[in-house]
Amino acid sequence: MSVDKKAYFSWIVAHRRSVTTIAAAVTVAAAVYSGRVPINYGMEQFFPSFGVERERYDEYKRHFAKEDAQFTIFWEDERPPGLAMFRDLERVAEVFENAGLIDVQCFDDTAVTETVELDGEAATYIYRLAEEAELSDAMIRGMLDRHRANNLFSGLLWNEDQSIFTVSGYLEPELNTHESRTEVEEAVTEALETIDAAATRATLAGVPVFRSRIPKMLEVDQALFLGGGFLVFCGILFYFFRHIGHVMLCLTSVLPAYLCAVALLGLSGRSISILTSFIPIIVLVVGVSDAIHLLTRYRHNRSELGDNEEAIARTFSELTVACFYTSATTAIGFLSLVGTRIGIIMEFGFFTAVAILLTYVFSMTLLPALLGFSARLKFNDRGLRPGWIRATLRGALSLSGGRASWVVLSFAIISVVGLAMGSTLRVNTFILDDMGPESAPVQDLDWIEAHGFGVFQVNLFIRSEGDGVLHDPEMLAWMARFEDFTRNEPLVFKTLGLPDLMVELRRGIVGDEEIGLPQSEEEAAQLLFLAEMNEQSRVEDVYLREAGVAQIVLSVRDEGSVLMLPLLERIEAFLTNDPPPFGTAAPTGTAQMAQTYQSSLVQTFGPSLLIALVLVFAAMVRMFRSFKLGLLGLVPNVFPLVVLMGAMKVLGVDLKPSTILVFSIAFGLAVDDTLHFLSKLRDHLAAKQSVRNAVEHTLRETGPPILMTSLAMAAGFSLLLMSQFQVLVLVGTMTVVSVVAAVFADLFVLPSLIEVAFRRNGIGPSRT
């Protein structure tokens, strides 16, 4: 078998020009096609692709598409309300309309219905809050004071103390895409900057605004990580290899693999998402690991054999199996994400795994072909064994020799403590998640919520059944009871539904002394007719009579799932204890879907990771033909995860979809070096060496590349500490912690475990 592998790699070297040309052609073709793959940063990607709640959400969005399409300017003015401020808000409304937003709402264009006495008779009068013919400072202030507490206006057009005013507009449903959102947001932002007004603060916000701005912040971070990561890796690799050509070779398998993975993404009809856009960073880190092991062994064989072709053939035939299993087991770690049922997470896990396997393919074809061009080069190997590496290996040899039992006991204690601390980790996710408190979106949201407005919604979707109509007095009374219940909830800023519209219409027509809901279906129908004549869009925001659906909108604070999920549970309890008189009602909407399924993802990730561990264990047993070595190989893979749990508890980091991705990354990084260590150990044990000698030789041969890859990975992920996103800072911190834990497990714990496990035998199992 070994002869066949050597013959294959000798053939690769002999045909290096053809192999390089084919690889270059594939890379160029993949680059051209990957450049055409669309980008989609839609929040819906984080929702499950199927299930009852997804079906309900899709039906809800078909009827009420404006729920996550609202642009709002929150305007704080240094002047008292008056004509000057009114004119500035008019200009903002014009900016919204020019940008293509629909149903633009400002208090100047909001209709009011009242009964007035004309010529001694009562008459229904419909007028605007700010009639152009009567505008003056006194008129505007009087109007605002008169309607200060109107439930249709307070919390929407202004806050309770009328210190903040709003202008809002909506994207057309077909324009609620990443490209259109970004285009409109940039146009509105640019136009608003040209308004020379006296506002002390004018904040543009809304779900589509966040969706537009956050990806642009991510793009800045990605440019920093990829560019900075490339420079960091180059610097570290040059420190070790002292050869710029070999530095570039370490990176050659990464770019083609990523471009091919993106091309496959496009061929499968998918778009680049927020998560899949980070595949190159992960593949860069993972791909360099095997390249370092290969080049280190190649340089050793080259100096020993003197013949370049023979050195390449021997190196790659020796490591091809180990590299395959490292790639396969790392891919399994990411494939475990497929069990989450969340489309965007599943795609990220699957295509990251594909990119890692493609990295292996290019490492086993392009890398030996390119090494074939360096037949006359001489190498400076002083960087491969610097003093700190030699000192670390001496310490590892010392501990595994005389203090193996103590090392194993310490490992067991640390693991138990980490598991105990990890079992108490809190699950907590936010709607606007993963951003630091100093980031602009979070500061804007905090300011908006502090002044009594909500940006996010929970929506109660109501459907009629049979002959019942939702404006039936019995149904309106039930809606009013639900609204009264939610108004007592601390997370809810404002509740708005069909009963509020009816009450305010009736107040204006019947008079202040007889406020209340309509007493008959006929009266309700008349009020609806009047409202539709008055301002149809306001009615359609909460009730579609022909479709037989309605909604109650809850504007909510974004204070995490630890508070949001209990609110949703109390809503479900209310619906169980006091169901609607007919039809159905259920909470839905972007916020509800995001919170529910982010928490569900965290809760279901454990079983997925456990399945991945079982599969990796099976792969290692198959690779080593030894149950004992396979079981020992799990230790360095599990240990970083246990340490991560303890570190997250100490640092106060909550479990959420973004932080659990660290576990997949940590698992993938740890397994690579473990397999290289055990693969070499098996060779020495098969040669009938004593366990002590086998461990010592294995540490001396694999220890340097393990430390080199660990340093490179730690340095690469340390760049994340410069991110604008809190989650990426945490990912960087946690990954560095896991890398350190993996090094400790590979170089200190695993040798000691092997010493203890094989102490009675003296030698290891024979190679089969």
Q: Which helix (H) or strand (E) holds 617?
A: helix 590-624
The torsion of the CA quartet 644, 650, 656, 658, rounded to 10 degrees, works out to: -60
Residue 109 scores a pLDDT above 80: no
Cα–Cα dist 204/444, whole Å: 8
Cα–Cα dist 104/35, whole Å: 37
pLDDT score recorded for residue 511? 62
Q: What band does 114 get if pLDDT is binned at 50, 70 and 90? A: low
pLDDT score recorded for residue 601? 65
pLDDT score recorded for residue 512? 55
- What residue spans define the domains of the chain? 1-36+242-384, 48-62+444-595, 65-212, 387-428+435-443+599-768
Superfamily of domain 1-36+242-384: Multidrug efflux transporter AcrB transmembrane domain (1.20.1640.10)
Cα–Cα dist 149/157, whole Å: 11
pLDDT score recorded for residue 292? 85
Cα–Cα dist 397/204, whole Å: 61
pLDDT score recorded for residue 600? 66
- 556 CB-near residues (< 8 Å, 6+ apart): 454, 456, 457, 458, 491, 492, 493, 564, 567, 591
Residue 64 scores a pLDDT above 70: yes
CATH for 65-212, among 3.30.70, 2.40.50, 3.40.190, 1.10.3470? 3.30.70
Structure token pair of residue 129: 């809050």
pLDDT score recorded for residue 42? 63
pLDDT score recorded for residue 116? 56
Mean pLDDT on 719-741: 81
Helices (H), 268-364: 279-305, 308-335, 343-363
pLDDT score recorded for residue 623? 83
Over pLDDT 70: what percentage of the chain?
89
Token pair 């996710």 is at which residue? 429
pLDDT score recorded for residue 29? 93
Mean pLDDT on 551-556: 96
Q: Is the dihedral of CA 296, 301, 302, 303 positive or negative?
A: positive
Superfamily of domain 387-428+435-443+599-768: Multidrug efflux transporter AcrB transmembrane domain (1.20.1640.10)
Structure token pair of residue 278: 């980070």
Instruction: Give the rounded distance of the alpha carbon of 190 from its chain centre.
Output: 28
Residue 522 scores a pLDDT above 80: yes
Residue 460 scores a pLDDT above 50: yes
| Residue, of 221 and 440, whose pLDDT is higher | 440
pLDDT score recorded for residue 61? 92
Mean pLDDT on 634-641: 82
Mean pLDDT on 70-81: 90
pLDDT score recorded for residue 121? 54
387-428+435-443+599-768: same fold as 1-36+242-384?
A: yes
The answer to whether the CB of 532 falls within 8 A of the CB of 547 is no
- 755 CB-near residues (< 8 Å, 6+ apart): 400, 401, 404, 691, 692, 695
| Residue, of 168 and 718, whose pLDDT is higher | 168
Mean pLDDT on 415-439: 83
Q: What band does 1 get if pLDDT is binned at 50, 70 and 90? A: very low
Q: What band does 229 get if pLDDT is binned at 50, 70 and 90? A: confident
Q: What band does 768 get if pLDDT is binned at 50, 70 and 90? A: very low
Out of 283-297, 394-408, 598-612, pick the least confident.
Answer: 598-612
Residue 757 scores a pLDDT above 70: yes
Q: What band does 124 get if pLDDT is binned at 50, 70 and 90? A: low
pLDDT in tens, 465-510: 888 899 999 999 999 999 999 999 999 999 999 999 888 888 777 6
Residue 193 scores a pLDDT above 80: yes
The answer to whether the CB of 275 falls within 8 A of the CB of 344 is yes
Residue 19 scores a pLDDT above 80: yes
pLDDT score recorded for residue 764? 43
pLDDT score recorded for residue 510? 67
Residue 120 scores a pLDDT above 50: yes
Of 731, 679, 684, 723, nearest to 705 by C-alpha is: 679
pLDDT in tens, 253-283: 778 888 888 888 888 888 877 677 777 777 7
Residue 434 scores a pLDDT above 80: no
Count CB atoms within 10 A of the CB of residue 724. 18
Token pair 């084919």 is at which residue? 22
Residue 686 scores a pLDDT above 80: yes
Q: What band does 78 get if pLDDT is binned at 50, 70 and 90? A: confident
Q: Could you tell me the end-to-end alpha-carbon distance of the chain, in angstroms, rounded to an integer?
A: 12
pLDDT score recorded for residue 131? 67
Entry pTM: 0.80
Ramachandran area for residue 51 (φ above 0: left; ψ -120 to 50: alpha; else beta): left
Count CB atoms within 10 A of the CB of residue 182. 18
| Average pLDDT value over all residues in the chain | 83
Vertex 36 angle, CA 31 and 39, to 5°: 115
**For the chain, what's the residue count?**
768
pLDDT score recorded for residue 290? 79
pLDDT score recorded for residue 86? 87
Of 346, 370, 305, nearest to 16 by C-alpha is: 370
The answer to whether the CB of 709 falls within 8 A of the CB of 289 is yes
Provide the β-strand partners of residue 165: 75, 158
Cα–Cα dist 274/213, whole Å: 13
| Residue, of 405 and 760, whose pLDDT is higher | 405
Cα–Cα dist 315/300, whole Å: 9
Of 292, 313, 418, nearest to 13 by C-alpha is: 313
Helices (H), 167-243: 178-192, 207-241
pLDDT in tens, 322-352: 888 888 888 887 887 776 666 777 888 888 8
- Report, in this order, helix, strand and coil percent for the chain, each rounded to 5: 70, 10, 20
Provide the β-strand partners of residue 342: 48
**Residue environment code for 200-228, b if the CB has 16+ CB neighbours within 10 A, otherwise e:** eebbbbbbbbbbbbbbebbeebbeebeeb
Cα–Cα dist 729/718, whole Å: 8
Q: Is the dihedral of CA 400, 406, 407, 408 positive or negative?
A: positive
pLDDT score recorded for residue 315? 93
Q: What band does 762 get if pLDDT is binned at 50, 70 and 90? A: very low
Cα–Cα dist 185/188, whole Å: 5
